Copies of this chain bind each other. A is one copy, B any other.
Amino acid sequence: MPTIKDIAARLGVSIGTVSKALHSAPDISESLKKTILETAVEMGYKTRGNFSREDRRTVLFIENMAYEKESDFGYDIVLGFKKSAAQEHFEVTVIPVTAEYQRQNSYDALLLKNRFCGAFLLGFSLEDPWMEQLKTTSTPTVLFDNLVMHNPHVGSVGTDPFEGIDMAVEHLVQNGHEKIAFLNGSVGSLISDQRMRAYLNSMYEHHLPIDPDLAVYGYYVADAARYHVPGFLEKGATAILCGNDLIASGVIECCRQMGYRVPEDISVIGFDDIPLATTLSPPLTTVRQDRSQLGKCGLYILHAMMNGIPMSRTLLRPSLAIRESVAGAKPRLPLRRTNDPDSILNVNPALYSQFVTHKSV
Contacts and interface: CB of A to CB of B under 8 A. Distances in A.
A251 interface: no
Most B CB contacts (10 A, CB to CB) among A204, A303, A310 go to A310
Contact of A297 (B149, B152, B309, B353): B309
Count class of interface residues, chain A:
20 to 34
Nearest to A351: B350
Interface in A112-166: 149-150, 152, 160, 163
A319 B151 CA distance: 10
Given A348-B352, A349-B353, A350-B349, A316 B311 contact: yes
Contact of A353 (B304, B308, B319, B348): B348
A267 to B, nearest CB: 22
A338 interface: no
21 contacts: A84-B307, A149-B163, A150-B163, A160-B312, A160-B313, A296-B304, A296-B308, A300-B301, A300-B304, A300-B307, A301-B304, A311-B315, A311-B316, A313-B314, A313-B315, A348-B352, A349-B349, A349-B350, A350-B350, A350-B352, A350-B353
Interface string A291-326: 001001100110110011111111111010000000
Interface string A270-303: 0000000000000000000010010011001101
Interface string A193-214: 0000000000010000000000
Contacts of A308: 293, 296
A52 interface: no
Most B CB contacts (10 A, CB to CB) among A301, A304, A352 go to A304
Nearest to A297: B309
Nearest to A314: B314
Nearest to A304: B300
Nearest to A311: B316
Contacts of A293: 308-310
Nearest to A159: B312
A312 to B, nearest CB: 4
